[in-house]
A and B are shown apart, each in its own frame.
Chain A
Amino acid sequence: MQTDTQGLRWLTTTAYNAFAIGLGILAGLMVVVFAGGNIGVALSSLFLNPVTLSGGIQQIFVRFVLFYTMGMGVGLALKAGLWNIGAQGQLLIGMVMVFVVYTSLGFLPWPALYIAMILGAALGGLLWISVPTILRVKFGANEIVVTILLNVVAINFAFFMLSGPIKSTGTALGFPHSIELPAQFQIPSIISGLPITYAVPGTVAIGIILYLLVERTPFRIKANTVGESHETARYAGISVPRVMVITMLVAGALAGLAGATYLMGYRYELDIGSFSTNYGLVAIICALVGRKNMLGIGFASFFFAYMTIGAESMALSANVPTYVVFAMEGIMMLGILLGNYLTERKYLV
């Protein structure tokens, strides 16, 4: 009977999540209609534009890679009860590091430099998250507070690097931006002409490896126990600081890596437009929707990649600012939490 209950539970959770997402979409539709948009155009923009618009499919996969890579890190830390609100900052540092490595290690031959740029981005994210990790493990400082602070520092730091050390001197346009990465440092498409780069199978491979390493080994139980109660974990002989350090550092490295794939696989140059995004928060939503499962986060990321592009296109169809998508995401998040509440109440009594 145990499996029956689990199956039923999975079904209700899915139903609640679908309801939550529907609620967010409905709210967005209401805003669009209120602003004078046509409901038919809005719906077709939401569901069809991501695949029919030129560049839409490329965007879906770019965001999928971003959300999935960062979301896995957030989810992993969350298993151990740690909130990485700073994925956005680690992402920025990762992007900056791509150029730092490119300019400072320029003497390396091509394949070595290429790999060094990717590893450098991951290392940047890892170093950036090591601050909250050390403060948490050594001083007991709350990681939420520190990661939030470091997001602001990261934006300022990235802006400093952009307006000085990694600034492009080639053009004198108003806003500072970096040079564009030469073609041999861009991540190529799998098949030429197809808008899917090697970053996509690469990310899926990382997802599967992490799934096998985390979900299929005792580490899952270790991390979950630390997440539930430090006391229980200690009693069970689990090294709490060790689990915290591993999950946090991997989370930072993944967010930094996301910076490398975003820059080298899509954007190619850094400008202040790349700073003012909220991908770190979307990664948190993906981790929650994917129930902190390394494969579940992948499905959630693909869905949110598609949904956010559709919703932005829907907003534009009625001249509503794309910021409405943030509100939709917030409503979806509340709806998902409400679903969790209803599920727990039904099965835990």
Chain B
Amino acid sequence: MTIALSDILIGVLSTTLTLSPFYIFAGMGEIVSEQAGVANLGLEGIMLMSLVTTFIVDYVTGNPWIALLAALGAAAVIGGLFALTAIRLRMDQIASGLAIYLIGLGLSFVIFNIAYPNGLTPNYVGLPPIFTNWNTVPYVGIIFLKQNILAYVSIVLVVLTAFFLSRTSLGLRVRAVGENPKAADNMGVNVNKVRFLATLFGALMFGVSGAYFAGNFVPGFQTDVIAGRGFIVLAMIYFANWKPYRALFAALSFNVVYAAQNEYVSLSGFGVASVSTLFNMLPYVFLLALIPVFGRKARVPKFLLKPYRKG
């Protein structure tokens, strides 16, 4: 059996564009949040809650757009709880983030189980592709037209986030409260309010990621369905030095490696999981290898993880 190289290439590109938005939305959210000095380790818990909300609301209303809105609402509630604990109550961000993760991990499955006691998973296919008859168009169809609108929104979001952080006054305030909250406070910036807004923005983006995951990754819902993919975003933005374009590059290259090994494994037909699981490690090892190369120059926001108290 011979496999055309072009088929592999198309497969890799298509998968990369389908999977990357999940990491891009979350990455932009975490960048803004961390630039303001708040690391949200509860991101995967927030994603799980919005994921299960997407399933249930789509099932009830039959409208994926309302489901997306509801997912944002769920993310805002859990994200708001995190912001309250990490900012207002000055709790240790790592500990309270992990607590939020545990709450999301447990609660999402309990809610799912109560909503669908028979164990059947609802059929949710996500938002429609931007061009319904995408499979009539060769190459371009499966790579670009098959994706839904969120894939394109995610790219625009990168541009907007970069512009926001470097060119707008609110963006500068976000960076100021993460870099030197005392000075920002002296200049009349309400430090904790800016931090709250940045954290909330982050949570909303995790909500979009969760909803996107529901339609584009694993069909149906199972326990711990995101399985650490949310946490990977923390590594991506760390490697990206909190820069939006580099985070985009990190997300795309990670998924190219992922898609390539996936394509290779499925085409070469290892069958049994034996060797394929070794290949599954590749994207993570790739990300790990980038850290000593690029992480050396990492400039962590100075007041990341440090709560701020006025006076």
Q: Which A residues fall within an 8 A CB radius of B?
A: 31, 34-35, 83, 85, 131, 135, 138-142, 144-146, 148-153, 155-157, 159-160, 163-164, 176, 276, 278, 281, 284, 288, 320-321, 323-331, 333-334, 337-338, 340-341
Contacts and interface: CB of A to CB of B under 8 A. Distances in A.
B292 A330 contact: no
Contact of A156 (B41, B91, B96, B280): B280
B235 interface: yes
Interface in B110-145: 110, 113-114
Contacts of A333: 95-96, 98-99, 102
B295 interface: yes
B293 to A, nearest CB: 9
Interface of B: 41, 45, 85, 89-92, 94-96, 98-107, 109-110, 113-114, 223-224, 227-228, 231-232, 234-235, 238, 272-275, 277-278, 280-281, 284-285, 287-288, 291-292, 295-296, 298, 300
Given A163-B277, A164-B274, 10 more contacts: A83-B94, A139-B292, A142-B295, A146-B291, A152-B232, A163-B272, A278-B102, A323-B223, A324-B107, A330-B45
Contacts of A331: 99, 103
Contacts of B277: 156-157, 159-160, 163
Contacts of B104: 330
Contacts of A140: 295-296, 298
A146 B98 CA distance: 16
Contacts of A284: 95, 98
Given A141-B295, A337-B95, A157 B281 contact: yes
Given A153-B288, A176-B273, A337-B85, A148 B231 contact: yes
A325 B105 CA distance: 10
Contact of A153 (B41, B98, B113, B284): B284
Contact of B96 (A85, A145, A334): A334
Contact of B113 (A155, A156, A281, A321): A321
A320 B110 CA distance: 7
A340 B307 CA distance: 14
A321 B110 contact: yes
B124 to A, nearest CB: 20
A278 B90 CA distance: 26
A329 B94 CA distance: 15
Contact of B91 (A146, A149, A281, A338): A338
A150 B234 CA distance: 13
Contacts of A338: 85, 89, 91
A321 B284 contact: no
Given A135-B292, A153-B281, A337-B85, A160 B274 contact: yes
B113 A330 contact: no
A329 B95 CA distance: 12
5 contacts: A148-B228, A149-B235, A160-B277, A327-B105, A340-B91
Given A163-B274, A320-B113, A323-B109, A153 B234 contact: no
A164 B45 CA distance: 33
A284 B92 CA distance: 13
Contact of B102 (A141, A142, A155, A329): A329
A152 B106 contact: no
A338 B81 CA distance: 13
A145 B250 CA distance: 15
B98 A281 contact: yes
B295 A327 contact: no
A321 B89 CA distance: 31
Contacts of B106: 323-330
A144 B39 CA distance: 11
Contacts of A141: 238, 291-292, 295-296, 298
Contacts of B298: 140-142
B285 A153 contact: yes
Contact of B288 (A150, A160, A323): A150
Contact of A337 (B99, B102, B231, B275): B99
Residue among A131, A326, A337 with most chain B CB within 10 A: A326
The 5 closest A-B pairs by CB, nearest first: A327-B106, A330-B102, A326-B106, A330-B103, A333-B99
Contacts of A139: 291-292, 295-296
A156 B261 CA distance: 14
B228 A151 contact: yes
A176 B273 CA distance: 9
Contact of B101 (A151, A323, A330): A330
A144 B105 contact: no
A341 B110 CA distance: 30
Contacts of B227: 152
Contact of A135 (B92, B99, B228, B295): B295
Contact of B92 (A278, A323, A324, A337): A337
Contacts of A156: 277-278, 280-281, 284
A341 B87 CA distance: 12
A131 B223 CA distance: 29
Given A145-B234, A156-B284, A159-B273, A288 B102 contact: no
Contacts of A341: 89-91
B55 to A, nearest CB: 16
Nearest to B237: A145
Contact of B99 (A145, A151, A278, A330): A330
Contacts of B288: 131, 146, 149-150, 153
B224 A276 contact: yes
Contact of B300 (A142, A157, A278): A142
A155 B277 CA distance: 9
Contacts of B228: 148, 151-152, 155
A142 B41 CA distance: 14
Nearest to B283: A152
A75 to B, nearest CB: 13
Contacts of B284: 149, 152-153, 156
